Amino acid sequence: MPKYFDPHIHMVSRTTDDYQNMAAAGITGVIEPAFWQGQARTSIGSFIDYFDTLLGWERFRASMFGIHHFCTIGLNPKEANDLSVANEVLEILPRYLVKDGVVAVGEIGYDDITPEEDRFLAAQLELARQFNLPVLVHTPHRDKIGGTKRTLAVIREVGINENLVIIDHLNELTLPLVLDSDCWRGHSIYPNTKMSEQRMVALLQQYGTDKMVVNSAADWGISDPLKVPKTGQAMLAAGFSEAQVEQVLFHNPVDFFAQSGQLDKTLISTPLPIDQRRQWQDNSALRGQEPVIK
């Protein structure tokens, strides 16, 4: 079975069943980008608690099922429009960008393509440049072509190394725009929207595997945390070799985020040892069940 790595999944909104099923499907590691939680946060303390959860409890919870967990930290584009908290979030980001397990600034980018989103995208790209970190960029759900073009323009205005940027949620219309840059190419595979496994396979057949990255972007909405291995199955069925599957669905994302200095490919090529007797701040996800040790 090929090795898989999901470089964009919001596990704080998923269940432990998902972790178990992902591990059984061959996923050895995940990256959880900071994002909008479905309801606006109204104070800086909400962001601090959320960032701390990504670095603490969620990383621990993943380890209980043998999965390596990393995260990206940033101010998401939707909440960049709320200046009552956005400026404060920007001020605290530097203290999080140096923490263990933080592999990029993100996810940042555009939602409604407002002047405020412009400003905070540029400011966070500059932070990434200062901290020599990769960047995960979210392209908008509306006016995706215009948002992708503006994203590329701001990246060039800031002057960050394009090889340190992955532009996510691409499709047949926006991928060609990114192919003209040195940025990496991210694709989110969803049950009904964004990309499907079959459409992703067609893009790989047309454009090749270089810098191509696939994720599930699974969150609190209708989504599927197994879309990465399901894309692997679709690639194999279409005639791709197992080595090509691993290149796209393991090596490419790991190689991109390893530029942070926080990922060791040899280490994350195998699942973490599991010892469910461990606890995080006197808490466990087992709820009294017999702990697994292996």
Alpha helices in the chain (DSSP H): 16-24, 44-55, 57-63, 83-97, 115-131, 144-158, 175-179, 197-207, 227-237, 242-246, 252-257, 265-268
Two tokens, residue 141: 């759900």
**Beta-bridge partner residues of 71:** 32, 102
Instruction: Place 14 in a pLDDT band, splitting at 50, 70 and 90.
Output: very high
Using the predicted structure, report yes or no on whether residue 280 has a pLDDT greater than 80: no
Return the pLDDT at 241.
97
CB 160, CB 154: distance < 8 Å:
no
CB atoms within 10 A of CB 292: 13
Model confidence pLDDT, tens digit, residues 98-136: 999 999 999 999 999 999 999 999 999 999 999 999 999
Q: What's the rounded Cα separation, in Å, for the pair 107 and 112? A: 15
Residue 210 has a pLDDT of 97
For range 79-96, the mean pLDDT: 96
Q: What is the pLDDT of residue 278?
A: 85
Per-residue confidence band for 228, with pLDDT thresholds at 50, 70 and 90: very high
pLDDT of 22: 97
Residue 28 has pLDDT above 90, yes or no: yes
CA-CA distance, 287 to 290, in Å (whole number)? 9
Confidence of residue 88 (pLDDT cuts 50, 70, 90): very high
pLDDT value of position 178: 98
pLDDT in tens, 58-83: 999 999 999 999 999 999 999 999 99
> What is the reported pLDDT for 189?
97
**pLDDT value of residue 141:** 83
Distance CA 127, CA 200 (A): 32
* Range 4-260 classified under CATH 3.40.50.620: no
* φ, ψ for residue 31, nearest 5 deg: -120, 130
Q: Is the dihedral of CA 258, 75, 7, 163 positive or negative?
A: negative
| pTM, 2 dp | 0.95
